[in-house]
Structure 1
Amino acid sequence: MDVKENFQTIHFKSKDELLITADFYPVEKSKGFILLCHRSHCNRGEYRETAPEFNSLGFSCLAIDQRSGMKVFGVINETAAQAKLEKLPTGYLDAKQDIEAAVDYAFELNENKPIIILGSSYSASLALLISTKNEKIKAVITFSPGEYLKGVNLAEEIKSIDKPTYVTSAKKEVEDVKNVMRFTNTKYITQFEPEAEGFHGSKTLWASVKGHESFWESLKYFLSDL
């Protein structure tokens, strides 16, 4: 493992043996474990600013590179690069197995205790989809989920959600998110509707985004209630 700043860069295999690169942000005696999944055209660097904040709240984190993504924020998506070398498909649904493998890996890192999964944009949709059938996930946090998955009616597929689920988005996406969640049992769903414009995906938590404080406030309340 390479130690860099406040995280360790590690590797593990996806369901099809593709090597996944991830940044591990451990906390001693953590109160929980959050798996961090990035948005499209992105990588694990999406969480370089926010993972330490989750650490400060007492949560260990694992930020992964999914095969559907690219270099941005000065960080190379090593999983996507390896997938291209191996001539593997890199669509949104192709990345589902990466997240499923990461859930298994995070579960082990968390001493075989259920984890929290956090998704951003297309990975928010995958997080919702995966969580409905995975007992290794105890709660879900999603930023800007939508009907992004080709051939999948997400609203129909996730109506059986029965675990604490936090959903939010940019202000302009609120109705789209409501549409995705329309069949779910509201007793499990916390949807934060921002007054601020916000931003697409988890970047809305970044200090550079106006109104980010309101997103953090609602998210911290959700986490404290788990």
Structure 2
Amino acid sequence: MKHLLTSVLLFLTIYSYSQQKVEYDAKDGITITADLYDAKGSDAFIILFHQAGWSRGEYKEIAPKLNALGYKCLAVDQRSGGGVNGVQNETNALAKKKGKKTAYVDAFQDLEASVAYVKKTYKPKKLIIWGSSYSSALVLKYAGDYPDAIDAALSFSPGEYFGDKKFITKSASHIKAPVFITSAQNEKESWSGIYDVIPSNKKQSFLPKTKGNHGARALWDKFPDSKEYWAAVKGFLNTI
């Protein structure tokens, strides 16, 4: 009975999490809204950025699973977005109300602010950034522009989604941290050039045997090949 109780308590410690909304400011004064998924006892942190037209709701299913792997998570509303899974993008709504630009590139300052917020507020021993679609390109830019600021980056369906078609590639050539890139099968050409210039000897890429999916939604349970993606993600995280 004692061993059973110990096992139950251990299970609760590892897998329980709490969720709360938090706010902080970007450098232009726009308030960023995010959801904190707080894994008990963890000093490792993943900041989650969504894909185009969406919100922090992209991670409603994903973040608790990352909590179970021992990571606190911050799912961020960037100013370029909309809504998904019943969650509207509050940062986008405020940016529009304030007359701010909401193009993909304008959201880079939201990434910068999010990393700064997490470092100042939670002081994690391990900090990972994770992006989906356009934001997956921006996390690679961040990792290259600030090569000593993070411990790893995961990028789901990156590409040169900006006016300058070398915008991400130029930054990626300066990345030091471990990098993981994945996508749908037919998207490899969009990121292979970026991947090739990353000098880190700890970079990994993954393509599913099936056609796969665009962005981090590839990890949603509704897709039969999500387990294959999760296995690749977990394998990478175990190397950090």
Give your verdict on TM over 0.5. Answer: yes
Matches within 5 A, 1:188-203: 188-203=202-217
Question: Partner of 1:125 in structure 2?
Answer: 137
Question: Partner of 1:9 in structure 2?
Answer: 21
Gaps of 5+ in 1: none
Question: Partner of 1:150 in structure 2?
Answer: 163
Q: Does 1:75 align with 2:87?
A: yes
Between the two proteins, the alignment pairs up a number of residues equal to 222
Matches within 5 A, 1:1-226: 6-111=18-123, 113-134=125-146, 135-151=148-164, 153=166, 154-185=168-199, 187-226=201-240
* Structure of higher CA gyration radius: 2
Change (3 A) 1:133 1:170: same
Q: CA shift at 1:150, angstroms?
A: 2.2
Q: CA shift at 1:76, angstroms?
A: 0.9
SS in 2 for 1:207: coil
The 1-side partners of 2:86 and 2:143 are apart by 31
Q: State whether residues 164 and 189 of structure 1, in contact with CA within 8 Å, keep that contact through their aligned partners in structure 2.
A: yes
Q: TM-score, normalised by structure 1?
A: 0.94
Task: Tell which deviates more after alignment, 27-36 or 51-60.
Answer: 27-36
Q: State whether residues 197 and 210 of structure 1, in contact with CA within 8 Å, keep that contact through their aligned partners in structure 2.
A: no
Amino acid of the structure 2 residue aligned with 1:180: I
Q: CA shift at 1:210, angstroms?
A: 2.2
Q: CA shift at 1:162, angstroms?
A: 1.1
Q: Percent identity?
A: 39
Q: TM-score, normalised by structure 2?
A: 0.88
Q: State whether residues 35 and 75 of structure 2, in contact with CA within 8 Å, keep that contact through their aligned partners in structure 1.
A: yes
Q: CA shift at 1:161, angstroms?
A: 1.2
The 1-side partners of 2:116 and 2:188 are apart by 31
Q: State whether residues 14 and 97 of structure 1, in contact with CA within 8 Å, keep that contact through their aligned partners in structure 2.
A: yes
